[in-house]
Amino acid sequence: MGSYVLRRLLLMIPTLLGIMLLNFVIVQAAPGGPIDQMLARFEGLQSAASTRLDAGGGDTVASGESRGSRGVDPRLIERLEAQFGFDKPPHERFLGMIRDYATFDFGNSFFRNRPVVELMVERLPVSISLGLWTTLVVYLVSIPLGIRKALRHGSRFDVWSSGLVIVGYAIPGFLFAILLIVLFAGGSYFSVFPLRGLTSPNFDELSALGKVGDYFWHITLPVLASAIGSFATLTMLTKNSFLDEVHKQYVLTARAKGASDRRVLYGHVFRNAMLIIIAGLPSALVGIFFTGSLLIEVIFSLDGLGLLGFEAVMQRDYPVIFGTLYLYTLIGLILKLISDLTYVWVDPRIDFATRES
């Protein structure tokens, strides 16, 4: 098993490099880079200043000079290229980025004048809070529901619960978030939950119990909106996995020996049926923690990693884009390895090293 883990760790290196290289090429080819963004801001400020001069009765010479000075000085472009590192060839910039990223040095944001690591650490607790509670709610509801549906397959309960989870799956998370706001956050009906943020303005003045209550008061609607689309997949996966195991020969043998239904279900079926669910945990975690929380963070004004990455793409803030991408990819690869190790822990009969050889 040790050799398998070592091979997987070594395989992460070319995988990570390939993903970073592909995205580096795509981002570099996209129009409207950081220099264009900076020049647009500069021209916007210059245009606003010219407008103020005209509105304030400034003479035509000053206004004409302001309009005439809108041409971009080549020396300014050269200074911006040197500031952003674009005075070097692309391959040198990529190799330098990978060398720095190997030590988790993501550099400074182009437009925030702060280290990327500092920005990510600042936003990380919000994404972790949302992702952790969403994952917990989804698994605590979907696994027992899937088991119940498998035991009562074809019943009225099975049909109605399938309809409900499929309807929930069909509703986009952001649309359900808007519906929750309209219903319960003062939109049109009830004002039960707050609309924005994870804490109240007076959070520091509350008691310990009050802080806990305030936190869950704020996180309830975002978690429900994030979890609504995940119930169906995990519920049906659990149900089908248990149905597949229930009809196998070892279950019939255990029942023939007089084992109770509870003993058969939790002593034999449960461990085998949970393998496929464990296999999907890494991708579910990455999706819930990062990609799936973007619109929810925007709607509920939660300043997390998803919103940070979206703003970086809009601003062409390359250090933030590639820093978050590197972190997401690395976490995904590590979680996949942890998933394989959990396979072996749940069922020692599985031997990845023997299977690969």
The tens digit of pLDDT for each residue in 31-84 reads 777 777 666 666 655 555 455 545 554 443 333 333 333 456 677 677 767 766
| Nearest CA-CA partner of 285 in 142, 132, 169 | 132
CA distances in angstroms from 234 to 122, 182, 295, listed in the order given: 31, 28, 22
CB 239 within 8 A of CB 150: yes
CB 215 within 8 A of CB 334: no
Q: Is 228 helix (H, G, I), strand (E, B) or coil?
A: coil
Report residue 223 as tokens.
């978690």
Q: What is the mean pLDDT of residues 23-38?
A: 76
Structure confidence at residue 330 (pLDDT): 86
Report residue 109 as tokens.
């944001």
| Spatial separation of the C-alpha atoms in residues 98 and 325, rounded to whole Å | 12
Give Rg (Cα) of the chain.
Answer: 27
| Spatial separation of the C-alpha atoms in residues 332 and 287, rounded to whole Å | 10
Burial class from Cβ neighbours inside 10 Å (0-12, 13-18, 19+) for residue 222 reads buried
CB 92 within 8 A of CB 254: no
Kindly report the three-state secondary structure assignment for every residue of 257-321: CCCCHHHHHHHHHHHHHHHHHHHCHHHHHHHHHCHHHHHHHHHCCCCCHHHHHHHHHHHCCHHHH
Check residues 327 and 356 and name the one with the higher pLDDT: 327
Structure confidence at residue 59 (pLDDT): 44
Kindly report the three-state secondary structure assignment for every residue of 80-114: HHHHHCCCCCHHHHHHHHHHHHCCCCCCECCCCCC
> 122-348 — its CATH code?
1.10.3720.10
Residue with tokens 């550099």: 107
Structure confidence at residue 28 (pLDDT): 77
Q: Is 339 helix (H, G, I), strand (E, B) or coil?
A: helix
- Residue-wise pLDDT for 229-249, tens only, equals 788 888 888 888 888 887 788
Which residues is 22 bridged to in the sheet?
none
What pLDDT band is residue 18 in, cutting at 50, 70 and 90? very high
Structure confidence at residue 324 (pLDDT): 84
Structure confidence at residue 182 (pLDDT): 86
The residue type of 172 is: P
- Residue-wise pLDDT for 167-205, tens only, equals 888 888 788 888 888 888 776 677 788 877 787 888 888
Structure confidence at residue 8 (pLDDT): 82
Report residue 182 as tokens.
């309209």
Q: Does 148 score more than 70 pLDDT?
A: yes
CA distances in angstroms from 167 to 32, 236, 288, listed in the order given: 40, 13, 19
Estimate the crossing angle of helix 2-29 against helix 90-101, to 10 degrees.
140
CB 134 within 8 A of CB 288: yes
Residue extents of the structural domains in the chain: 33-72, 122-348
Q: Is 69 helix (H, G, I), strand (E, B) or coil?
A: coil
| Spatial separation of the C-alpha atoms in residues 238 and 214, rounded to whole Å | 34
What pLDDT band is residue 12 in, cutting at 50, 70 and 90? confident
The Cα angle at residue 15 between residues 10 and 16, in degrees rounded to 5: 95
- Residue-wise pLDDT for 302-316, tens only, equals 888 877 877 888 888
CB 200 within 8 A of CB 194: yes
The Cα angle at residue 118 between residues 87 and 202, in degrees rounded to 5: 140
Q: What is the mean pLDDT of residues 242-258?
A: 80
Backbone torsions φ then ψ of 176, nearest 5 degrees: -65, -35
